[in-house]
Structure 1
């Protein structure tokens, strides 16, 4: 990712009258997964160094594939279930585009002393607008968010059609086919190649729909966006009742575990068979496994009661700062990771979890400082 990953996913149109804590909980989990995906020292070498610890690391690693989907689901839940003003939405979309270019420029500039990089004017301008890898490419998430916002008026109009839900189903089906459906077919080919020795076409690059896809590379984000709206509106405990909520909670937990293990096993199989690392996070965003994991996680957290005031306060503080953490964690991680990698046991899971908590905490503090300065507040807070 490297998403809403590789951020603050509050309603960009209308503030909720009452705090919905599970939104903050989802954003808190998501930003943690974003940070640990971008900055970790986990030993993931299941080709040359297989072992229980490495497999545990790789299993956990796949959880980060939910980070971007959950951000989009929260955003969809907030935007699709409330009225909006087109003029304000257009201004917000333009503002996001300005922030995208501003933070690409800031990232590129600040990483010059961090990396010791040098650029010609042509190289600098190119890196600025094309998002340089390991410097500003995490801002791809803002590109994806803007692409959703550009189509939001159409999506919202279709979503609100009370007497014709077939249109929404058709829209979702078409988007699904050209995103999740395409990767699913590649998954089937990879399994067939490994198990049956079927290798008549290139399973990783073959285009099943040449010249037909009307959507961009971020088409899967539309599905998560709409899914968040549907789950939030149609499956709330108040709407479906306590008994059905408990049943669905159990189903969601089982589905999550099954999909998580399936993603792990598929990643191991693909890595071993191809003898190259299979990134279950980047390749997982539009996989069926991550779709199920994200939907199950969203529903499970939405079905819980949030009575712990201290925990709720933590969720709110982090949840309302995820946009800023998303923008700033790159600098904190880039400076600190080299020191973390040199400590004993830094390749194990627990030290990486603690390190990531530190990155989030330090970045959160920096965000609070910037929020307190009027000149910078709007650059880290939507």
Structure 2
């Protein structure tokens, strides 16, 4: 059995906490016109910092999977798990949204639009999982030069498409392997950082500076465009934005450097992290039920963001953890969480 790397588990722990923070903070950011400017800036800072969570999830998967030599059936089981979770939670959210939230949904559009917005992540990860066995073989046959070349092509393509999106144009060109989203690039980026992590050990301060600088620049640019337009500006918070990619990659690399990439934790701490990480996928899937229930009854201006964002994030995390822990006790619980 492969020894668990707790640097990665810390990244996973931080990431799924930040996912919840993103969804809570964004509720307040989008209410820019209805809340105080101080509240907006507070919510925006938390939102922007936490945007690295989804890139980190993709990078974790890439770091853990692309260096493996595993049988095809194992990837098949992994894919079935994701598909089962997607089908189950799509059904849950369909009834939750149509019966409780009063939000109509056309099931004929299920292949185009997720029943609940946050399920997009499963739509993005399933195609990647379909081709993982082939990428694993490809990565095993590549040397450092090819690794760097593929990463350069991926980052360059993603940046080009992001910049092009501001012109509201689409290119007819489609780069194989990379695709038209940043997700596969993040996948390979995680693998790349993990594979060459020893080369980053002398650059901790530089990585910290890059993370803080890119995040601060993103916050400043978003504030500027928001004030200029009078509405919350989200373009710089997209996962294809170069600043988000830089922040996510530097954060991932930073946490991989703790204790030289092999962090040692007390048994009690490891057990707690194992519990949280074991429930992380389920927490991601279920937490929107609690957040949307809150949104149904409380508008952003009714409770200050200074209190609501941290308080609601913690409350949702606790309720989600308890729910997922109980779900996983059921005979079929591990298949849907």
Same fold? TM cut 0.5? yes
Aligned to 2:24: 39
Which secondary structure does the structure 1 equivalent of 2:51 belong to? helix
Q: What RMSD in Å do the two structures reach over aligned CA positions? A: 2.8
What's the CA shift for 1:296? Answer: 1.2
What's the CA shift for 1:311? Answer: 4.1
What's the CA shift for 1:337? Answer: 3.7
Aligned to 1:255: 210
Tell me if the contact between 1:39 and 1:333 (Cα under 8 Å) persists in the aligned partners.
Answer: yes
Matched, 1:221 2:172: no
Aligned to 2:275: 317
String of CA shifts for 1:146-203, please: whole Å, max 9, x gaps: 12122323322221125x44444443333333322322466xxxxxxxxxxxxxxxx4
Measure, in 1, the Cα distance between the counterparts of 2:231 and 2:304: 23
Measure, in 2, the Cα distance between the counterparts of 1:269 and 1:299: 29
Measure, in 1, the Cα distance between the counterparts of 2:301 and 2:181: 41
What's the CA shift for 1:355? Answer: 1.3
What's the CA shift for 1:291? Answer: 1.1
Aligned to 1:196: none
Tell me if the contact between 1:62 and 1:260 (Cα under 8 Å) persists in the aligned partners.
Answer: yes
Measure, in 2, the Cα distance between the counterparts of 1:359 and 1:180: 34
Tell me if the contact between 1:256 and 1:293 (Cα under 8 Å) persists in the aligned partners.
Answer: yes
Q: Give unmatched runs, 5+ long, in structure 1.
A: 1-15, 187-202
Match of 2:234 among 263, 279, 282: 279
Matched, 1:100 2:63: no
Q: In structure 2, do the counterparts of structure 1 residues 325 and 116 end up closer, same or farther at CA, with 3 Å as the change threshold?
A: same
Aligned to 2:59: 73
What's the CA shift for 1:54? Answer: 2.4
Measure, in 2, the Cα distance between the counterparts of 1:368 and 1:343: 33
> How many residue pairs align between the two structures?
331
Q: Write out aligned runs for 1:1-382 (5 A).
A: 17-40=2-25, 41-43=27-29, 51-117=37-103, 123=106, 125-132=107-114, 135-162=115-142, 164-184=143-163, 203-207=166-170, 210-214=171-175, 219-235=181-197, 239-240=198-199, 245=201, 247-279=202-234, 283-305=237-259, 306-309=263-266, 310-339=268-297, 341=299, 345-348=303-306, 350-380=307-337
Measure, in 2, the Cα distance between the counterparts of 1:50 and 1:178: 39
Aligned to 1:192: none
Q: In structure 2, do the counterparts of structure 1 residues 35 and 178 end up closer, same or farther at CA, with 3 Å as the change threshold?
A: same
What's the CA shift for 1:269? Answer: 3.0
Which secondary structure does the structure 1 equivalent of 2:137 belong to? helix
Q: Give unmatched runs, 5+ long, in structure 2.
A: none
Q: In structure 2, do the counterparts of structure 1 residues 316 and 337 end up closer, same or farther at CA, with 3 Å as the change threshold?
A: farther
Measure, in 1, the Cα distance between the counterparts of 2:316 and 2:35: 28
What's the CA shift for 1:47? Answer: 6.6
**TM-score, normalised via structure 2 length:** 0.86
Q: In structure 2, do the counterparts of structure 1 residues 185 and 110 end up closer, same or farther at CA, with 3 Å as the change threshold?
A: closer
Measure, in 1, the Cα distance between the counterparts of 2:321 and 2:180: 28
**TM-score, normalised via structure 1 length:** 0.77
Which secondary structure does the structure 2 equivalent of 1:17 belong to? coil
Q: In structure 2, do the counterparts of structure 1 residues 25 and 337 end up closer, same or farther at CA, with 3 Å as the change threshold?
A: farther
String of CA shifts for 1:115-174, please: whole Å, max 9, x gaps: 13566xxx3x22544435xx5221110111112122323322221125x44444443333
Measure, in 2, the Cα distance between the counterparts of 1:34 and 1:270: 24
What's the CA shift for 1:52? Answer: 3.8
